[in-house]
Amino acid sequence: MTSLDVSHLSVNFGDRTVINDLSFTLQAGEIASLLGPSGCGKTTLLRAIAGLLQPREGTIRLGTQLVGLSSVVLPPNKRRTGYVPQQGALFPHLNVAQNIAFGLSKKEFSQAEITKTISEMLALIGMPGYENQMPTELSGGQQTRVALARALAIKPKMVLLDEPFSALDAELRNELRSEVVALLRAQGTTAILVTHDREEALVSSDKVVLMRDGKIAQYGSPEEVYESPISPSVAVSTGDALVLSAHQAKDGSTSYALATLSAPTGAVSTNNGYVVIRPEEISVSKSSAAGVAGTLIQLDYYGHDAMLVVKLSDSSEIIRARVAGPMDFAVGDLVKVEHRGPIRFFANA
C-alpha cells in the first residue's frame, strides 16, 4: 500500500503534448477513477505512472520513492505497479498459472513460492483449479479476473486498471466491478481505474480525476464532482444535467425558467449565465398548485425510475425530471414542475 504524488506532469508524443502540467495525489489505499472523453489522455497518464512512458516534465512519486521524471525513469518491474491493460490483457500462449506467474522472477522466488502465490491468487479471484486452462477457454469475466490476479501476484504498491470491464455485458460488468473493488479494498491496494462510464467512476472510487485535453478539469470525491461541479461541462460529464439560461441580479437573486430564487450569498454583480440542475432535483405533479406549468412530451421508463421530459408552457424550455416509480404519468399530461435542489449558477465566461 502506498501513496501516489503526480506533480506537474507533461507527456509528449513527438511535438504533441498529450498530458499537460497535470498534478494530483492519492493517499495510500485510495481508489481513484480517471474519467474523461476518448483521447483526453487517460491511458497515457496510466502508462506514465506504470513506467511504460517517459514524461517530458514533472515527477511521479510512489510513497517517498521518486519513480518518474524526465531524466530518470524507474522501469515498470522495479516500481512494482500492477498494470491491467485494455482488452487482450492475457498472454494467449500461456495458461492461467503461467499468466499469473509472469511477473514473478525465478531469481527472486523459488518454484514452491511461485506455486503457492498462484494458488493464493486463484483462491482470491474465486477460480481455484483453473491453473491449466488457456485464455481462449475462459469467459470475458474470467479473463479479467486472471489479469487482475497477475497484477496482484507481484504484491504491487499500486494497481492500474485500464477499462478492464469495457468488453463485458452490463450485468457481469457491475458484478465484477464490485468484486474487484471489494478485493482491492480488502487488500488495501492503492488503485487507479480508467473508465468512460460516469456511474462506474462515481460508484467505485474515493476520488474522481476528471480529465479534459490532457489536464484535470476537476478532482475530488464522487460527491464533490457530482454535487458541486466547477462548470456546466463537468456537470454533464459526471451525470445527467439540465443546463438552463439564467440571470443573476445585484441582490443575489437568480432567475431562470423554473424560478427566481434568492442566493444565500447575498449581493453579487449582475451576470448572465447558466444554472445546472440534476434531473432528480425536479419534482413533477399533476395536482400541485405550485410550480411552473408544462406538458409532458416524453416518458422514458427504466423500471426503477423514469425520465419525464416536460415542455414549459411559457418559455418553451425543455425540462428533464427523474421520477422514482411507481407513477401514473402519460405523454400529453398537463403538469407542474418545481426545482427543489441547490442553485448552481455559472456566469458566462
Q: Which positions lie near ligand ATP, rule CB under 6 A?
A: 13, 18, 36, 38-44, 196
State the pairing for strand pair 282-285/334-339.
antiparallel
Residue whose grid cell is 511521479: 60
Q: How far is the CB of 44 from ligand ATP (least distance, A)?
A: 3
For ligand ATP, give the closer residue by CB, 13 or 91: 13
For ligand ATP, give the closer residue by CB, 38 or 316: 38
Q: How far is the CB of 90 from ligand ATP (least distance, A)?
A: 19
For ligand ATP, give the closer residue by CB, 44 or 143: 44
* Torsion sign across C-alpha atoms 321, 322, 323, 328: positive
For ligand ATP, give the closer residue by CB, 37 or 128: 37
Q: How far is the CB of 272 from ligand ATP (least distance, A)?
A: 33
Name the residue among 272, 239, 269, 240 with its Cα closest to residue 256: 272
Q: How far is the CB of 246 from ligand ATP (least distance, A)?
A: 32
Q: How far is the CB of 333 from ligand ATP (least distance, A)?
A: 40
Residue whose grid cell is 513460492: 113
Q: How far is the CB of 62 from ligand ATP (least distance, A)?
A: 20
Element (H, E) at 256: strand 253-256
Q: How far is the CB of 67 from ligand ATP (least distance, A)?
A: 19
Answer whether 254's CB lies under 8 Å from 268's CB. Answer: no
Residue whose grid cell is 460508484: 203
Neighbours of 39 (CB within 10 A): 11
Sheet holding 65-69, edge to edge: 16-26, 4-13, 57-62, 65-69
For ligand ATP, give the closer residue by CB, 51 or 294: 51
For ligand ATP, give the closer residue by CB, 18 or 147: 18
For ligand ATP, give the closer residue by CB, 83 or 346: 83
Exposed/middle/buried for 313, CB within 10 Å: 0-12, 13-18, 19+? exposed
Residues 235, 227: Cα–Cα separation, whole Å: 8
Neighbours of 287 (CB within 10 A): 6
